[in-house]
Structure 1
C-alpha cells in the first residue's frame, strides 16, 4: 500500500537555526549570491529598522552574520547582479526613488529615477510659498483643490507629505527645506534582473515605480535603455529569456493585472485580469504562477491561458520557485502559516510542517549547497534547510482530488410489489402516459415563456448621467414577501479609484419600508465588483399593489446622481404566520 505524502515529507533536512536572529523584513529585501571574488554564495538581507533608525545591509555566512553596513534610506527591494565580466559582484538596493549600488559592501553608485512632469499650478504654488508670497494655509488650500480636481496620487511626494502634515511647524519646515525646488521622482516598488545573453553574463536591471513606469537600466553604465508606461503601479517583476535575443518581462500590478512585455512592443495590454486580488507571482518553467486572496494557486501559460488551479484550505502567504538541477526537479513552494507545500501544475508533491509561524522563504545556492532553503519565522529567527540528494517526487497527490465515477456505489433498492405493479401499469397504458407527459411538458414550456416575458417587461433599467464616471449598477430582488432582500452590485470602469459615495434608495413610503435606505460606498476600485444588501418590507400585502423603487449612486459634491437603477417590484405574498 502506498504511503501518503505526509509520511514521506522527509525531503528536506531538519532546519539549522542561525545564531544572529531577529530579522524583520519583507521577502523582496532578501537575495542570495557571492559578495567578493569567491565561489561561496551568501545570504544578503536589507532591514528597514524602526522609524528611520538601524537601517542596515546584513550579510550572513554559514550559521552566523558575516558583516553589515548602514543604509541611508529604508530599502524596498534588493537584487544581486553582475555588471562587469571579471569584477566583484554588485548589490542593488532600491530605497525611495534611488537605486543604491554597493560593491565590496561599500557604496559604489547612486541612480535616481528621472522626475516626472509636475502640475504647473502645484509648482507655482510651491515657488510662491518659498518666496513668502503666500502663507502655508494658502498653499494647503491650493493643494487640496488639486486633490479634488486631479487626484492625490498625481501630486508630488512632497505635496502629499505636506497635505498629510497636521502641525504648522512641520509645514513650515517642509517649505524651508524644499525652497520651491520640488521633484516628482517615483518611488521604486520592485526590481528584477535580465541577463544580456548566454555568452555575456552581465545583467540589465528592470524596476518599476509608483508612477506606473517600468525602467530597463544598463547595469554597467547605469543609463536608461527603455522606459515603459503601464496602466497601473507595478508590484512584482519577473523576467524570462535574454535581452540580446528574445525576452519576456511579466509585471504584476496593484490592480491585479499581469502584463507581458516583449521586444518591440508598442501597446501594453494585460494578459491576465484577476477578479480577486493577486498577492504574489513567480515563473515556473514556462508558466506564470500567482496566488490570490481567495486562497488559489493558479498556473497559466505565457499567453495568460489557465492550465491548472489549486484550491488551498489556508491562506497562502507567498510562493517561491524551486529547481533542483541534478535531478531536473522543479516545483512551486507555497508558504502557509506553519507549513510548506510543493506543487506543480497538476499535483501536490510535498508537505513540510513547522512548529512556529513562517514569514517568508528563499530558495537558491547558499554556501556550497546548490539547493538550500532559507526559512524566516515570524519571531525573526532564521533557519537553513537542504534538499536531500536522495529525495524525489515519485509520491504525489492530485491537489483537486475528485473520486472517479465508477468508484461510487449506487444504492439500488430491492424490487417491491409496488414497483412490479407500476412497471406492469406502464406497459399497459404506455400510450396514455406518453400523451399526458407531452401535454404537461407543453404547459410547462408555455408557463416558462409567459413568466420570462413578464420578467423581461419588468426588468431593471439603469440610467447614467455622466460619461466621465463609467459605473455599472445591477439590482436583484430576492424573496416572495412581504420581506424582500435587495442586492445592489457596483462595477467601476474608471481609471482611478472613486471615494466617498452613497447608495440612496427611494420608494413610496406608503407601500414599502427599507431597513437601510442609505448605504455608504467608501471606495470603488476599477475592475472589482462590490455588493451591498438591504431588506425592504411591504407594509400591506393584502392590497396587492406594487410600486417602483429607485437605487441612486450619489456623491456629496454632485448635484445629480451618478447612475440610477429603476426596479419594478413584484407582487408581495402573504406572510406564512
Structure 2
C-alpha cells in the first residue's frame, strides 16, 4: 500500500517543485493536458463501497482540521483524519446521501453531520448521535379510509375489503398504506385476513412513509464555509423538502412532476436561492425562491449528475455528453466524452482564481477537469472512479478524493500556484487563431472615391438593380412556361439529336417529342440470389413514341447476371403504363450488394433518353 503524508504549510513550496519535476502526463485524445494534482495519499485496499452522494468532508469538531466521512454501503460511517482511519460508526439502514450543515451562529461553529437512510435523516454532533428526523407521513386516500371504516363497522368482510383495496392499487392513482398492503399480503387466507382486520380495528390509519433519494444543504444568509445552512431533501413521493434551521421539521415543501434523483443548490435563503433538480424522467427542474419554475430542460437521456457552477447548470447524461445550460434553460454548449460518464462534482476554487470547475469521472478511468469548455487537467486511475469529493481536506484548501470501483481510496491536492484559467492543448474551446487580428489593408484613395461615388448615386444604382431583377424574373417565367408547353426543353440531355429527328422524319416514324416526356419506375422483387426487376414505362406526352430500346446492364458483371440485357419497346401510347420484367441473378452473394443500370435509348440516338441506377438489395445466401 502506497502512502505519503499530506504536505504541511512549511514544505509546500518544495512539494510544488518536486511535483512539477515529476510532471505526470495524461492524454486527452487531441493533445496533452497539463497535470493539475499532486499525489497526497492512496489506500488501494480501503474496501470502500460508496458513491459521490455518500462522500463528504467537513470540520467535524470545529478545530479547522477537515476530516473525510464516507457513508459506506455496509451500513457504516468511516472517518479519516489525514492518512489514517480515525473511527467507524454503525448505521441502522443503508445510506443514500451524506452532508453537513450549521444550525446556529454561536462559536465554536460545530457542524451537524446528516446521513440520509430510508425515510430518516440521522444527525450527529461531534460524531455522537444527536437527532433523528423522520419524513412526515403522507395523507391517507379517502377511498382507502372509507373501505376500512366499512370493515370496522362490520359492513364489509376482510376478503371483500382486500378485493376493493387491490382494485384501488391496480388503478395506480394512489399508494396504499402499510396496513392495507399487509392485508393484501395475506391473500389466499381469508381467516388470516379476518383476524388481521379484527386486530387492527380501531387503529388510526397511518399514512405512507416516503424515502429520501437525494440530499444537499443551502446556506441561510451568507456564502461562507461556516455560515448557517439548512437541509434540502428529495423524496420518493416527488417532493423537495427544506427543513428548518435545527433540522427537526419541514419548513417548505415543493411538489415536482417526477421523483428527484440529484440536487444542486446555489445562493442563500434570505437573498434568493436556486435549486436544480435532475429527475428520473430525464428532465431538469428549477426551484426559484421556493416556487417551481416553468422552464423545464429536457435532456437527451437519463442524468448521472448535476452541479451548478455559478449561474450555469452542468449536467452529465448517459449519452456520454456533458451539457451546460443557463438558469432559464438555454443551452450554452455540449461536450462529448470518449467514454461513459460515471459521476461529476463541482470543484470549488479559491476566490482569487475566480473560477469554478467541474470534475468528471469516466468509465475508462479518466478523471477530467473542465473550466467552462476548456480541459485544464486529465489524469487516469487504475480502475473507474465511482465516487468523487472535491473541497477542503485536512489543512488543504482544495483536494480531490476518489473512491474507485475496486474500493480503493485516493487523495490528491491542488498546488496553490495552479492556474485553472489556462486551457490545455486538448481544449475543446475556440481555437486560438480567432484572437489573432486580421491584416486589413488601409483605406486607399481609390476606395474612398468609390464609396463617395456609391453614396452619391445610390438611387440610380438601386433602380438599375431592380430593373435587372425584374428582367431575371421575366426570363425565368418565360422558361417555365416553355417547359410546361414544350417537352423538348426539359433538359438538354433529354432533347433528341438532329440525326434521330432526320431519320424519324424520313421513315415516317412517330413524333420524337413524346420521347422526351418518358417516365420510368423500377422496383425489385425477390430476396436473392434471384431477383426480378419490374420496369414501368409510360409516355407522358401527347404523341406516340416508337423505336425505343431498353438496355439493362450490371455495374459489375462479375456480380450480377442479367438474363435479358436488352429488349425493344415497339410503341408507347400516351397516358398508358407498360410493365416489363427482367430477371437477374446475384453470382456472388457473399460480397454484398451492387447496382444495375437501366438505359432507355432511341434509334440512331447519340445520348440516352433516360438512365436509372438501381441499387440492389443484399442477397441471401443460396442454400
TM tier, smaller = 0.5 to 0.7
The equivalent of 2:303 in structure 1 is 278
Gaps (5+ residues) in structure 1?
A: 50-54, 406-430, 447-478, 485-541, 545-572
Q: Alignment partner for residue 219 of structure 1, among 221, 238, 245?
A: 245
The equivalent of 1:244 in structure 2 is 270
Q: Match of 2:38, SS?
A: coil
Q: Match of 2:70, SS?
A: strand
Distance 1:401 1:262, change over 3 A: closer
Q: Alignment partner for residue 380 of structure 1, among 368, 385, 407?
A: 407
C-alpha distance in 1 between matches for 2:140 and 2:98: 29
The equivalent of 2:39 in structure 1 is 14
Q: Alignment partner for residue 342 of structure 2, among 302, 313, 317?
A: 317
Aligned ranges 1:87-486 → 2 under 5 Å: 87-123=109-145, 141-151=163-173, 154-156=175-177, 181-198=205-222, 201-220=227-246, 222-263=248-289, 265=291, 268-325=293-350, 326-337=352-363, 338-393=365-420, 394=422, 395-399=424-428
> Do the aligned partners of 1:308 and 1:345 also contact (CA within 8 Å) in 2?
no
C-alpha distance in 2 between matches for 1:20 and 1:223: 40
Q: Match of 1:184, SS?
A: coil
C-alpha distance in 1 between matches for 2:318 and 2:328: 23
The Cα shift of 1:227 comes to 1.4
Q: Match of 2:166, SS?
A: helix
> Do the aligned partners of 2:300 and 2:319 also contact (CA within 8 Å) in 1?
no
C-alpha distance in 2 between matches for 1:295 and 1:313: 7
> Do the aligned partners of 1:251 and 1:260 also contact (CA within 8 Å) in 2?
yes
> Do the aligned partners of 1:129 and 1:180 also contact (CA within 8 Å) in 2?
no
The equivalent of 2:514 in structure 1 is none
> Do the aligned partners of 1:277 and 1:293 also contact (CA within 8 Å) in 2?
yes
The Cα shift of 1:160 comes to 5.9
* TM value normalised by structure 2: 0.59
C-alpha distance in 2 between matches for 1:386 and 1:131: 69
The Cα shift of 1:133 comes to 9.2
Aligned ranges 1:511-526 → 2 under 5 Å: none
C-alpha distance in 1 between matches for 2:152 and 2:127: 39
Q: Match of 2:39, SS?
A: coil
Distance 1:59 1:120, change over 3 A: same
Once the two structures are superposed, what CA deviation does each residue of 1:475-521 show, in whole Å capped at 9, x if it has no partner?
xxxx966599xxxxxxxxxxxxxxxxxxxxxxxxxxxxxxxxxxxxx
> Do the aligned partners of 1:250 and 1:259 also contact (CA within 8 Å) in 2?
yes
Q: How many residues align?
A: 422
Q: Match of 1:154, SS?
A: coil
C-alpha distance in 2 between matches for 1:375 and 1:140: 50
> Do the aligned partners of 2:27 and 2:378 also contact (CA within 8 Å) in 1?
no
The Cα shift of 1:345 comes to 2.6
The Cα shift of 1:340 comes to 0.5
Once the two structures are superposed, what CA deviation does each residue of 1:59-97 show, in whole Å capped at 9, x if it has no partner?
111122211222222221111111022243101121222
Which entry has the higher C-alpha Rg, 1 or 2?
2
Once the two structures are superposed, what CA deviation does each residue of 1:138-162 show, in whole Å capped at 9, x if it has no partner?
56533431222234x6334665687
C-alpha distance in 1 between matches for 2:186 and 2:83: 44
- Which has the higher mean CA deviation after the structures are superposed, 56-65 or 157-166? 157-166
C-alpha distance in 1 between matches for 2:154 and 2:403: 52
The Cα shift of 1:543 comes to 10
Q: Match of 1:232, SS?
A: coil
C-alpha distance in 2 between matches for 1:132 and 1:372: 66
- Which has the higher mean CA deviation after the structures are superposed, 30-39 or 217-226? 217-226
The equivalent of 1:23 in structure 2 is 48
Q: Match of 1:142, SS?
A: helix
Q: Match of 1:276, SS?
A: coil
The Cα shift of 1:317 comes to 0.7
Q: Match of 1:269, SS?
A: strand
> Do the aligned partners of 1:57 and 1:69 also contact (CA within 8 Å) in 2?
yes
> Do the aligned partners of 1:127 and 1:180 also contact (CA within 8 Å) in 2?
no
The Cα shift of 1:168 comes to 7.4
2:117 is the counterpart of 1:75 = no
C-alpha distance in 2 between matches for 1:437 and 1:164: 84
Distance 1:264 1:214, change over 3 A: closer
> Do the aligned partners of 2:231 and 2:247 also contact (CA within 8 Å) in 1?
no
Distance 1:355 1:247, change over 3 A: same
> Do the aligned partners of 1:350 and 1:396 also contact (CA within 8 Å) in 2?
no
2:58 is the counterpart of 1:37 = no
The equivalent of 2:82 in structure 1 is 62
RMSD: 4.2
> Do the aligned partners of 2:217 and 2:229 also contact (CA within 8 Å) in 1?
yes
